[in-house]
């Protein structure tokens, strides 16, 4: 599989306690099936060759000898399987019995990892039989061969450099200092956990959160494989609760009490990029203390199971969306409140166009004023009708200002701009960039001067998507004294406005719903003959839902253009043809690189999410960087 995706599998076969031959057959069947389905890493439960609940049978040589023979049978049966497989088994070494994970690939045993933390409570009285990891042992003999043994082993795929795996066993995850912490800091991108965790009320949610948070803390993939049916129910029940997680997100989770194979893909390229971004790489002094065991895997060649939302900035479920929108609005308002108090501003001046961005800026300012104990009448909302202003947007802007109790000020700009055209020698019949931008700059000058006149601040309305595309007039709507929407993408703006509309209700909700139904436009060109908006932004620069998708995966995760295109084609299949996606991706990169100079001098604006383009915050980029490498990575013939 391309683009850094490693297909993984957590496999819980139905076993019989102490029936080693039967269990080996089931393990072989599951391993071959997972390989057939493209899995490059398959993890089985703890002690699955014989069963975790063997009790004092672990003291029987017959069982232990049968286990060693079964390992040989498994290796022989998987000689043509290029999947890295972890199987749980009790093994003797140096006169002690260890609870182990045996790593097998291509029929060869690559290494054996003993459990570090042996439980000493309740039903899990493993200390009766097993010893903890012993640093004095570095090798173990199996089937007449000596193989690496210990908790200092990391497995690395030669044909996929970022595919690095380490293993811990059950309670190791619950320990205060899990082995996986050291593994991750030494470079392991994926942690396999062979587990046998009994099921009790509430434990599944705790277990899931533990796996999820461990993967997030380590910036790693985590494959947790749990024992299920077949373990003894003398005192406990086992549910086969398998979990695959990546960087704090659960990718796949099995249903309780259903044995089977759970698949997903872990993006090791994403993990590598995120580690570099956060920690400048994982290079501790202890890295030399770990041994690297090499293996080769295959290209899974299977279709990607993971799905990617079309709007990654917007939570999919309504409850999360409501919580997120409230938090974002609170962050925006708190940032502005601080700036208003710090500067002792008497007023806030906003250009209200009847569009979504200016509506959101006004709603945020209203919140900030309320929090600061200021009168909403000191919010000066200015409408500045020009050549392209439609009756609908002008009416909506006026109604909105009146509904929220701000002070409305109308300053027509057409005559002033025509005089300006005359001063600079521009023919107003030539509707070029001068014709458009002169209006935007005139509006900004008016807002700045009103702010000076009233002792206030100009509140910027431009959003993150516009900043990414450079869709702002330099020193026009590009400029303000505080940009409240600077890190809010266009696809999220409408959800914030809709949320606030419902919350405020009444006339405010009514007019905001009208604004939500209005086409996105800068309204710098005259309306059509019917008085409708003639200049629609998305017809010119492309759909914002595509550009926000491109922005999220190219800036937040640093994905290559090829990978961004691959994911976008999958996410928008049936919505846009592949060639259309590629066309707009090229537009995105061209505009993103060409307009960095606008972002290099953008005004302050509070960060609300994981992506911001502030030159003082998360994004530092030379204004003259070439987009050649990125444009060259987009295949027009896909």
Q: Helix (H, G, I), strand (E, B), or coil: what is residue 104?
A: strand
Confidence band of 302 (pLDDT split at 50, 70, 90): confident
pLDDT higher than 80, residue 532 = no
Phi, psi of 365 (to 5 degrees): -65, -35
pLDDT (0 to 100) of residue 488: 97
Nearest Cα residue to 82 out of 24, 23, 42, 46: 42
The count of other CB atoms within 10 Å of the CB of residue 15 is: 27
Average pLDDT, the chain: 92
CA distance 136 to 114: 13
pLDDT higher than 60, residue 357 = yes
Strands 260-267, 249-253: pairing kind:
unpaired
pLDDT (0 to 100) of residue 320: 87
Confidence band of 536 (pLDDT split at 50, 70, 90): low
SS (H, E, C) 562-592: HHHHHHHHHHCCCCCCHHHHHHHHHHHHHHH
pLDDT (0 to 100) of residue 74: 97
Mean pLDDT of 171-200: 94
Nearest Cα residue to 468 out of 486, 449, 450: 486
pLDDT (0 to 100) of residue 636: 58
Dihedral sign (CA 297, 10, 278, 217): negative
Nearest Cα residue to 631 out of 575, 591, 579: 591
Residues in Cβ contact with 212 at an 8 Å cutoff, skipping those fewer than 6 apart:
243, 245, 248, 249, 250
CA distance 328 to 607: 9
Cross-strand bridge partners of residue 187: none
Residues in Cβ contact with 233 at an 8 Å cutoff, skipping those fewer than 6 apart:
none
Domains of the chain (ranges, CATH numbers): 5-295 (3.60.110.10), 318-632 (3.40.50.620)
Convert the pLDDT of each residue in 122-165 to its tens digit: 555 688 889 888 778 899 998 788 999 999 999 999 989 899 99
Question: With pLDDT > 70 as the criterion, what percentage of the chain qualifies?
Answer: 95
pLDDT higher than 70, residue 406 = yes
Convert the pLDDT of each residue in 476-527 to its tens digit: 999 999 999 999 999 999 999 999 999 999 999 999 999 998 877 666 567 6
Cross-strand bridge partners of residue 124: 121
Mean pLDDT of 557-585: 95
Prediction pTM value = 0.91
Confidence band of 389 (pLDDT split at 50, 70, 90): confident
Written as six digits, the tokens of 506 are 């009444």
| DSSP secondary structure code for residue 126 in this structure | G
Q: Helix (H, G, I), strand (E, B), or coil: what is residue 388?
A: coil
Reported as type and span, the H/E element at residue 109 is strand 108-114
Mean pLDDT of 97-125: 89
pLDDT (0 to 100) of residue 604: 96
Alpha carbon separation from 532 to 414, 429, 527, 536 (Å, rounded): 18, 20, 5, 11
Catalytically annotated residues? 46, 115, 170
Which of 124-133, 223-232, 356-365, 384-393 is predicted with the least confidence, judged by mean pLDDT?
124-133
pLDDT (0 to 100) of residue 391: 86
Question: With pLDDT > 90 as the criterion, what percentage of the chain qualifies?
Answer: 82
Which of 8-12, 232-236, 462-466 is predicted with the least confidence, judged by mean pLDDT?
232-236
Convert the pLDDT of each residue in 304-356 to its tens digit: 899 999 999 998 888 889 999 999 999 999 999 999 999 999 999 999 999 99
Confidence band of 286 (pLDDT split at 50, 70, 90): low
CA distance 141 to 615: 58
The dihedral over CA atoms of 304, 309, 310, 316, expressed in degrees to the nearest 10, equals 160
pLDDT higher than 90, residue 98 = yes
Confidence band of 530 (pLDDT split at 50, 70, 90): low
pLDDT (0 to 100) of residue 618: 84
């Amino acid at each position: 599989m391309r683009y850094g995706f490693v297909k993984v599998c957590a496999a819980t076969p139905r076993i019989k306690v102490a029936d080693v031959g039967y269990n080996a057959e089931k393990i072989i069947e599951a391993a071959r099936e997972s390989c057939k389905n493209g899995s490059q890493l398959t993890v089985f439960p703890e002690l699955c060759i014989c069963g975790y609940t063997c009790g004092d049978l672990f003291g029987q040589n017959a069982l232990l000898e049968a286990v060693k023979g079964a390992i040989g049978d498994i290796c022989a049966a998987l000689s043509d399987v290029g999947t890295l497989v972890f199987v749980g088994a009790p093994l003797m070494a140096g006169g002690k019995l260890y609870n182990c994970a045996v790593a097998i690939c291509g029929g060869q045993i690559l290494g054996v990892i003993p459990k570090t933390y042996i439980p000493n409570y309740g039903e899990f009285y493993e200390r009766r039989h097993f010893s903890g990891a012993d640093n004095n042992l570095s090798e173990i003999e199996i089937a007449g061969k000596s193989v690496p043994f210990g908790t200092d082993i990391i497995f690395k795929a030669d044909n996929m450099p970022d595919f690095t795996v380490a293993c811990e066993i059950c309670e190791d995850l619950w320990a205060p200092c899990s082995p996986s912490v050291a593994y991750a800091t030494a470079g392991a991108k994926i942690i396999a956990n062979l587990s046998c965790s009994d099921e009790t009320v509430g434990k599944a949610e705790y277990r899931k959160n533990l796996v999820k948070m461990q993967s997030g803390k380590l910036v790693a993939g985590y494959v947790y494989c749990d024992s299920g049916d077949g373990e003894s129910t003398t005192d406990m029940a086992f549910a086969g609760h398998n979990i695959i997680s990546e960087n704090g997100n659960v990718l796949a989770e099995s249903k309780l009490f259903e044995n089977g194979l759970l698949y997903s893909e872990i993006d090791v390229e994403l993990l590598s990029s995120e580690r570099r971004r956060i920690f400048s790489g994982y290079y501790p002094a202890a890295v030399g203390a770990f041994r690297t065991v090499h293996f080769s895997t295959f290209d899974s060649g299977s279709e990607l199971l993971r799905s990617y939302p079309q709007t990654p900035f917007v939570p999919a479920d309504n409850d999360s969306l409501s919580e997120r929108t409230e938090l974002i609005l609170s962050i925006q308002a708190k940032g502005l409140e601080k700036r208003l108090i710090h500067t002792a501003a008497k007023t806030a001046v906003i250009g209200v166009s009847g569009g979504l961005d200016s509506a959101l800026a006004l709603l945020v300012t209203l919140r900030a004023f309320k929090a600061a104990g200021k009168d909403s009448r000191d919010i000066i909302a200015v409408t500045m009708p020009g050549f392209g202003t439609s009756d609908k947007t002008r009416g909506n802007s006026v109604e909105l200002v009146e509904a929220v109790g701000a002070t409305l000020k109308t300053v027509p700009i057409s005559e002033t701009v025509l005089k300006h055209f005359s001063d600079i020698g521009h023919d107003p019949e030539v509707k070029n960039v001068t014709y458009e931008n002169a209006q935007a700059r005139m509006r900004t000058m008016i807002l700045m001067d009103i702010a000076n006149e009233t002792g206030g601040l100009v509140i910027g309305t431009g959003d993150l998507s516009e900043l990414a595309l450079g869709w702002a007039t330099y020193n026009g709507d590009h400029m303000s004294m505080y940009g409240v929407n600077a890190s809010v993408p266009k696809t999220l703006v409408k959800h914030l406005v809709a949320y606030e509309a419902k919350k405020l209700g009444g006339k405010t909700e009514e007019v905001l719903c009208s604004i939500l139904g209005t086409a996105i436009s800068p309204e710098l060109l005259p309306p059509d003959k019917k008085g409708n908006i003639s200049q629609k932004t998305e017809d010119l620069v492309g759909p914002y839902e595509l550009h926000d998708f491109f922005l999220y995966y190219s800036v937040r995760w640093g994905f290559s253009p090829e990978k961004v295109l691959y994911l976008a084609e999958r996410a928008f299949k049936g919505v846009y043809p592949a060639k259309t996606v590629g066309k707009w991706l090229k537009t995105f990169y061209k505009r993103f690189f060409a307009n960095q100079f606008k972002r290099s001098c953008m005004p302050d604006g509070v960060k609300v999410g994981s992506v911001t383009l502030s030159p003082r915050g998360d994004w530092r980029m030379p204004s003259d960087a070439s987009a050649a490498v990125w444009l060259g990575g987009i295949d027009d013939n896909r």
